[in-house]
Amino acid sequence: MIGGELDRMAMAVLQPGFEGTEPPGWLRRALADGLGGVVLFARNVDRDGVRDGVRHGAADSTGEGASAGPANGDAVAGTAALVAELRRERPDVVVAVDEEGGAVTRLEAATGSSWPGNMALGVAGDVSLTRRVARQIGRMVAAAGVTLDYAPVVDVNADPRNPVIGVRSFGCDPEEVGRHGAAWIEGLQSAGVAACAKHFPGHGDTVTDSHLALPAVRASREVIERRDLPPFRAAIAAGVRAVMCGHLLVPAVDTLPATLSREVLTGLLREELGFDGLAVTDAIEMRAVAALHEPGEIAVRALAAGADAICVGVSSAGGESVYALRDAITRAVREGRLAEERLAEAAGRVRDLAAWYDAQAEARAAVARDADEGLGLAAATAALRATPADQAVTPLTKAPLVVHLAARPSQAVGRATPLKLGQAIEEILPGTVTAEVHEDGRLPDLSETGRPLVIAVHDAVRHAWMRRLLDDALRARPDAVVVETGVPGPPAGRLYLATHGNSTACARAAARWLTGGV
């Protein structure tokens, strides 16, 4: 193959991120040179819909002006304008985004997600509700012109101490995770956007964040087969268009990280599970693999193992890093380290995904007219669980003090800023006072017994300092209400309310419930 064709094929398998709400010059050149995809982050979302001095009204992916999203129409419309510019350079570019709903949102990063996340949907227990929520997320993503949504998470949350999955999972039961994962995929793809099940072969049984180090799943092959793989089998049976491989070490399958393992990506995913869609890596700058090899070497090894698309969250300001990846791939082909046929197969799967998206234009036009008003709040409300369940709850009638015990969010959450519980209560009870306490902080004065006390925690089961401060607060105020927005632990306080998620929708549902508004 001549050099120009090989270069374009190598560019086709890359999905880099970039800075800003306008396509930089290097990205335009790369698209002309055959770049197959891009990935959008919160930093690319125009939060007020103003670009080049012009406010862009909400529009669907067909440009027909339909409402784009429940809370962020301007931001979605601004993103759609950005995507339109990308498509002018390359009409079949695969535009990807992490839009899970719940804690992980890019298009609603400014306000937090209008939807509960996966664990809330799993607790609600209604797969038809899950399908409806995913279709509405698809409606928003389609309005932004996005091809591929890096969702849903179908990891089984086997360890409640997991620092990066948690409420992003549908739960800890493989069958239920599979049922809800399949419904989510069906809902999203009915909106004409490709879904991506992640993080293969299962990130739920880890206590390490792969953004920071390489996690290991030490379970036996039998446990992996029984616990971690069924949701991926269900996703494949539901027709999922893509699967994302996690940066995981799974010794029962291979001694190499899954991203670089032919046993995982070809033997397990392709040959055993029968998946023939797009296999994409998690971002290759994550320390789980970045600590092992240079970016070009990671890309080459992942492609050789069976990956089809290389996700690169961070690119150099001038795009040199993207071209360096291209050159590393073409050099590996010329040296015989990466088969040209394997690279051609990967590039072909990228084209196939783009062709699938093009064929879904009618589905995107239909979903643009299919608003499901109030669904996010209703779904979040369905996931609320109180202990004791049979206690007649006295609603908050006076503005409370709300103390948030706040840990640093996972890097997966990024720049999302969901409405906090105190803010949501203040919308209903003006005069509500909010205090935020971090690991090295101290509790505020809790002696004002005339003001109700609400303590909000997130994943207290994972944080000893949070449990300690919670115990201190309850000794001072045993009448306090405790709201857990993450994975629930042992109930505490006069009333313990679990939301099973920390999105804006979850905060508003909890506030309405606590104030007697449900």
Q: Write out the catalytic residue numbers.
A: 211, 282
| Residue 506, φ and ψ in degrees, nearest 5 | -65, -40
Q: Identify the burial level of 403 via C-beta atoms within 10 angstroms of its C-beta, where 0-12 means exposed, 13-18 middle and 19 or more buried.
A: buried
């970039």: which residue's tokens?
Answer: 18
What is each CA distance from 360 to 93, 198, 356, in whole angstroms? 15, 23, 7
Q: How many CB atoms lie within 10 A of CB 261?
A: 25
Residue 52: partners with Cβ closer than 8 Å, 6 or more residues away? none
Nearest CA-CA partner of 293 in 208, 209, 214: 214
Nearest CA-CA partner of 209 in 267, 248, 238: 248
Integer Cα distance of 126 and 379 in angstroms: 9
Residues in the chain: 518
- Cis peptide, bond prior to residue 257, ω within 30 of zero: no
- Cis peptide, bond prior to residue 116, ω within 30 of zero: no
What is each CA distance from 296 to 6, 18, 283, 325, in whole angstroms? 16, 18, 13, 5
Residue 302: partners with Cβ closer than 8 Å, 6 or more residues away? 245, 259, 260, 265, 281, 284, 310
